[in-house]
A and B are shown apart, each in its own frame.
Chain A
């Protein structure tokens, strides 16, 4: 059985996702020692040498707009997030970990997924590392009266008939997003993979909550785009939260939603 990590990167004028993916892949190699496959629609240069495979796909034409924050700085730009449901057909591996390029691996805990009997693992909970942010509470369900949230930031799957059907369903939900967002009472018009995955899991479980899929052996810790990234050195990240408190984490995986800030740190690191 082949194992590896799949990353998706579609640049816009605000964020160089390919550069971010290269940094992310470097951390994966260092801590997980796994091959990395990049799925991109962008130019790829020889400085980006942390990938084992690169697959070039057409640029998704979603025209979705997202606001990118870096503390008080704001940029609106196109958000090309619609390739992820194709992870099943695009991965060159039998067992795959898919992660956002702003999910930074800092330990080997994710390798434990390969010891699991499960065909799909994902996080249902996300935890801000300040442990008091209201975002954490607000993001438990897809809407006020909706189903339980899940986080497509990082997930694991092995190729089985069930996961094949799951990804077919996620693709269907993506294509019929207007219908499903009304059916599941999601106010936001913008397609989000987190919501599509949560809906597909709910449908695969015959519209119930069951024990499938189980959770990843690594909790999803995050900082938002309102938090500032101060430094990264010797596997230690330093952040300043929106409310001014400083925080350091060492050897912990972290989802850094402040993509602009992350790219500035990557520039210094390189």
Chain B
């Protein structure tokens, strides 16, 4: 086989492995962002965090209705505490994602 073709195929295989590993990291981060409160499931994302912040900005922190992952309404009575919990979990997961992503980039070598 022509050397340049062989190198291209080797490059393609490494890229495929890298992309697969990256998808797995994303999935892991997504799964780790699942949070339960009052028996309801929430997947923490920026939209949820900002929704809490909106209430906190208008000083309405005692109670509000949120929609869980299945669009069921839930009354959250301590929005500040809820916001702290989800932000903390989200940040921890992003940190882990960041560390593992950097390791993956380092391991992939020159692509």
Contact = CB atoms under 8 A, between A and B. Distances in A.
Interface of A: 107, 109, 112, 115-118, 127, 129-131, 211, 214, 217-219, 221, 244-252
28 contacts: A107-B32, A109-B31, A109-B32, A109-B34, A112-B34, A112-B36, A116-B41, A117-B38, A118-B39, A130-B20, A131-B23, A214-B41, A214-B70, A217-B31, A217-B36, A217-B41, A218-B31, A219-B27, A221-B27, A244-B13, A245-B13, A245-B16, A246-B17, A247-B20, A247-B21, A247-B24, A252-B28, A252-B31
B108 interface: no
A244 B28 CA distance: 23
A245 B18 CA distance: 10
Interface-central residue, B13, B16, B100, by most chain A CB under 10 Å: B16
Interface residues of B, number: 19
A219 B33 CA distance: 12
Contacts of A247: 17, 20-21, 24
Interface string B1-38: 00000000000010011001101100110011010101
A109 B28 CA distance: 10
Interface string B63-75: 0000000100000
A254 to B, nearest CB: 10
The 6 closest A-B pairs by CB, nearest first: A117-B39, A115-B36, A217-B34, A131-B23, A112-B36, A116-B39
Nearest to A214: B70
B92 interface: no
A211 B31 contact: no
B20 to A, nearest CB: 6
Given A214-B70, A246-B17, A129 B36 contact: no
Interface string B21-62: 101100110011010101111000000000000000000000
Given A112-B36, A131-B23, A214-B41, A219 B16 contact: no
A131 B41 contact: no
Given A109-B31, A109-B32, A117-B38, 5 more contacts: A107-B32, A109-B34, A130-B20, A221-B27, A247-B20
Contacts of A117: 38-40
Nearest to B72: A211
Contacts of B38: 117
A219 B27 CA distance: 9
Nearest to B104: A248
B20 A245 contact: yes
Contacts of A130: 20
A245 B28 contact: no
B36 A252 contact: no
Nearest to B37: A115
A219 B31 contact: yes
Nearest to B100: A250
A221 B40 CA distance: 23
